[in-house]
Amino acid sequence: MDNMRIAVIGLGYVGLPLARLFATKYPVIGFDAKENRVAELMSGHDSTLEVDDTILQSVLVSNISEMSQNGLYCTNKPEDINACNFYIVCVPTPVDRHHSPDLTPLYKASETVGKVIGKGNIVVFESTVYPGVTEEECVPVIEKMSGLVFNKDFFAGYSPERINPGDKEHTVEKIKKVTSGSTPATALKIDEVYRSVITAGTFRASSIKVAEAAKVIENSQRDINIAFVNELSKIFNLIGIDTGEVLEAAATKWNFLPFKPGLVGGHCIGVDPYYLAQKAQDYGYHPEVILAGRRMNDSMGEYIANQVVKAMIRKDIPVRNADVLVLGFTFKENCPDVRNTKVFDVVKALQDYGIRVTIYDPWAKPEDVRREYGLEVLNTLSGSKYGAVVLAVSHKEFAALDIRSLIQENGVVYDVKGCIDSRLVDDRL
């Protein structure tokens, strides 16, 4: 593929690893609207920790003029991607406070592409969406901004991201990539480009809508499975049996799916089902299973807080003005990402009881937590004693902690993640 010049729009958890990978073979311009993010990357550091600094530095070039056959240059100037001919959009697709899809980042990215795209160019979207967004929402914006005609002057595709934040084993090149294009020739071209760097191979979907739907059901399926075991946890707690022990026994059957109860946050599993639900409702269908799963998983933060308070009451620990330590705030273990973390729900519910909550997380950035949630998080332990300790996220650092030493005499240890020796905890999810 001669003369390929790739632009990746959005250099977050998805865009940066992809840009870095393509940069090993092609000249790549990474674009992000955040000036501080670009400055950080050009200094050779990735604060998301998705790309090791040494690996990032190995592909960086200091200016565009130095780019030849390969390399990565990051910028926040749209004019710098004007000479590219293959655009990949990797921006977030959140929901608003009403759980409705917020396509604002996609619209803005489409405007950026529309200002620079040229005849014969291809734009591929990776952001998680419901079927139809690429062709019905994004493409018209590009047409309007560029004055070009879709499938005549420029072409489009969709290749859903499959990044798992914090996972150093299943990296982007090791995960099979679904591809699609707006014409048969475009689909082949897009598949060829991705196949040139994805060692796990590719799967070419029959249409863009099929590829969009495939992505959104991946996380919806996982969401529903977790909701099922969360409901089981509530039932078994009432019965008085250990959910972990039940799941361990059931897992001895070869086809039992090993899902565990827990908090479902982040920018994928806790968000994507709402995109599929929205599209279904546009067609007059009210999804029952999908939204029931969302309601169950969204209820778990308050449920956990209630269980902690009940455990404290059983031990005659005064609840109001009690000091409780929450271990972990990010949405998953060994990852600094705090977007849509459901630990916030636990903290808020505990505070509603009049409890003083201290949050310790060695991975979360205090400034991010302060900005997004108005809470303070500690990166080091203070040495205080607490009426209760809640293990909310299983960071590797917590494995070495003597949990019982953190509580006051007769204090409570509650294990959300089910990863502490059951003899050391008072209750767990």
Residues assigned a catalytic role: 268
Burial category of 160 from C-beta neighbours within 10 Å (exposed 0-12, middle 13-18, buried 19 and up): buried
User: N- to C-terminal Cα distance for the chain?
Assistant: 52
User: CA 4 → CA 48, 72, 172, 187, 357, distances in Å?
Assistant: 28, 13, 20, 16, 53
What distance in Å separates the CA atoms of residue 32 and residue 35, rounded to the nearest whole number? 7
What distance in Å separates the CA atoms of residue 92 and residue 34, rounded to the nearest whole number? 14
Q: Count the Cβ atoms, other than its own, within 10 Å of residue 92.
A: 18
Tokens describing residue 215: 């992505």
Residue with tokens 């070039």: 61
What distance in Å separates the CA atoms of residue 164 and residue 268, rounded to the nearest whole number? 9
What distance in Å separates the CA atoms of residue 358 and residue 327, rounded to the nearest whole number? 9
- Cα three-residue angle 90-96-98, rounded to 5 degrees: 145
Residue with tokens 């139809």: 132
Using DSSP's 3-state secondary structure scheme, residue 245 falls into helix
Q: What is the DSSP string of 143-165?
A: HHHH-PPBTTTBEEEE------T
